[in-house]
Amino acid sequence: MRLSRYFLPILRETPKEAEIVSHRLMLRAGTIRQEAAGIYAWLPLGLRVLNKINAIIREEQNRAGAVEILMPTIQSADLWRESGRYEAYGKEMLRIKDRHEREMLFGPTNEEMVTAIVRAHVKSYKDLPLNLYHIQWKFRDEVRPRFGVMRSREFLMKDAYSFDIDAEGARHAYNKMFTAYLRTFARMGLKAIPMRADTGPIGGNLSHEFIILASTGESEVFCHRDFLEQPTPAADIAFDDRATMQGVFDHWTSKYAATSEMHDAAAFDALPEADRVSARGIEVGHIFYFGTKYSEPMGATVNGPDGKETALQMGSYGIGPSRLVAALIEANHDDKGVIWPTSVAPFQVGLANLKVGDAATDAACLDLYARLEKAGVDVLYDDRDDRPGAKFATLDLIGLPHQVIVGPKGLADGLVEIKNRRTGERETLTPDAAINKLTAQA
């Protein structure tokens, strides 16, 4: 992409409303724009990151056997009356009426709807297990939205819902999602630690939050140091093998990890001092097993092998992609700007032409640009007639993993410079060598 033809509204100064670093950097780097309290428009750069995150989530959900659907944002109140949550949900639910005065709502979650879908079409245990997920916008009318997309009213959520004939099957479904989540966050370069959680309004008796450690995190968390080094399950792990999945779960829950609500100070203090990690955390995923909480009142049943009608065993599994964008920045930035992990970076390479209009420099840049793109590397080419300093500052701010700097001085010797945004490491080399190096890394 040529920057001159792109839409990247960089802010040099920080808008006053932004309190935390991810919110500040997202506004400055032209990724989002606030439209109302807790409601944001996604600009091109931010959307690219969001889509990268979604792609990783999809791959891992599919790998774990979940099937993608897409449910609407608007739901009917009657559906929620079936579970009793229409009354129970309170003012966080955005309630609206259509032109016929029918009561509708902007969905804060989809347990009722997905249960209705499965109830209508699944009649036999032979159709199970089933796990349906979608990635869709949700709305929760928070009293006080804040921290940008970290705590917004409208937010994107991947929510999966598992359906099984019995508790053992549901447990396996839970463990599969548990494993998929470990992989998902690891692929984004995040160390997410599963912590036992309160089930809250979703209900149920088994629940884990996936928390990433970041100094600006909203909640206090405590865990064993081993979590920081623990390797995540491989891509080819046997998702269909119950013992294997239970093994992953057991391994990842055998050591101490808890949020402040579930914290057991005595158990934590029993750990050797050197193993205790007490930090701030950001919740990026939350999984629940809640049995028949929705299937029973909503009459979602199937015939079992014994011919008896049985209420479905359910679980739900959420990840917040829009929040993850902010969480990733909280975990990956410096005083100059964002530092995107390669797997979610909006572009892999930023190409800076230091003297637009200079024939040799323009030609060298165009050549690099074309050859990198041809090699499948996403390049943002800064071809604007701007000062070198401004270009460096912009590239550092938007945080692309690699920078290629091309100017007349270097070109006189047939050389360009590449810089690693994360390490700051620079290297002067020929354009050919730069291309080799970048295609190998990206």
Partner RNA sequence: CGGGGUAUAGCUCAGCCUGGUAGAGCGGUAGUUUUGGGUACUACAGGUCGUAGGUUCGAAUCCUGCUACCCCGACCA
**If DSSP codes are grouped into helix, strand and coil, which group holds residue 344?**
helix
Query: What whole-number distance in Å separates Cα of residue 428 and Cα of residue 285?
Result: 42
Query: What whole-number distance in Å separates Cα of residue 111 and Cα of residue 106?
Result: 14
Query: What whole-number distance in Å separates Cα of residue 139 and Cα of residue 320?
Result: 12
Closest contact distance (angstroms) between CB of 188 and RNA is 15
Give 99 or 144: the residue with its C-beta nearer to RNA.
144
Give 207 or 302: the residue with its C-beta nearer to RNA.
207
Query: What whole-number distance in Å separates Cα of residue 282 and Cα of residue 213?
Result: 6
Closest contact distance (angstroms) between CB of 193 and RNA is 14
Give 119 or 421: the residue with its C-beta nearer to RNA.
421
Query: What whole-number distance in Å separates Cα of residue 211 and Cα of residue 261?
Result: 14
Where are the alpha helices (H) located in 239-283, listed in sequence order?
Answer: 242-253, 265-269
C-alpha angle 94-209-240 in degrees, rounded to nearest 5: 110
Give 48 or 151: the residue with its C-beta nearer to RNA.
151
Query: What whole-number distance in Å separates Cα of residue 350 and Cα of residue 262?
Result: 44
Structure tokens at 412: 């006189």
Identify the CA nearest to 78 among candidates 114, 121, 112, 118.
112
Give 142 or 296: the residue with its C-beta nearer to RNA.
142
Closest contact distance (angstroms) between CB of 374 and RNA is 24
Closest contact distance (angstroms) between CB of 165 and RNA is 27
Give the bridge partners for 419, in sequence order: 403, 426
Closest contact distance (angstroms) between CB of 337 and RNA is 8
Give 27 or 372: the residue with its C-beta nearer to RNA.
27
- Residue 107's identity, in one-letter code, is G
Give the bridge partners for 333, in sequence order: 338
Closest contact distance (angstroms) between CB of 284 and RNA is 7
Structure tokens at 401: 């993993």
- Residue 436's identity, in one-letter code, is N
Closest contact distance (angstroms) between CB of 341 and RNA is 19
Query: What whole-number distance in Å separates Cα of residue 392 and Cα of residue 399?
Result: 11
Give 35 or 226: the residue with its C-beta nearer to RNA.
35
Closest contact distance (angstroms) between CB of 173 and RNA is 19
Give 251 or 409: the residue with its C-beta nearer to RNA.
409
Closest contact distance (angstroms) between CB of 283 and RNA is 4
Give 129 or 350: the residue with its C-beta nearer to RNA.
350
Give 291 or 350: the residue with its C-beta nearer to RNA.
350
The interaxial angle of helices 242-253 and 167-187, nearest 10 deg, is: 60
Closest contact distance (angstroms) between CB of 334 and RNA is 11
Identify the CA nearest to 399 among candidates 353, 316, 331.
331
Give the bridge partners for 157, in sequence order: 136
**DSSP type of residue 124:** B
Extract the runs of DSSP E, i.e. beta strands, from 292-391: 301-303, 309-311, 313-319, 333-334, 337-338, 349-353, 379-382
Residues that bind RNA (CB under 7 A): 10-17, 19, 34, 36-38, 91, 140, 142-147, 151-153, 155, 157, 200-202, 209, 218-219, 283-286, 318, 320, 322-323, 336, 354-355, 357-358, 386-390, 392-397, 405-411, 417, 419, 426
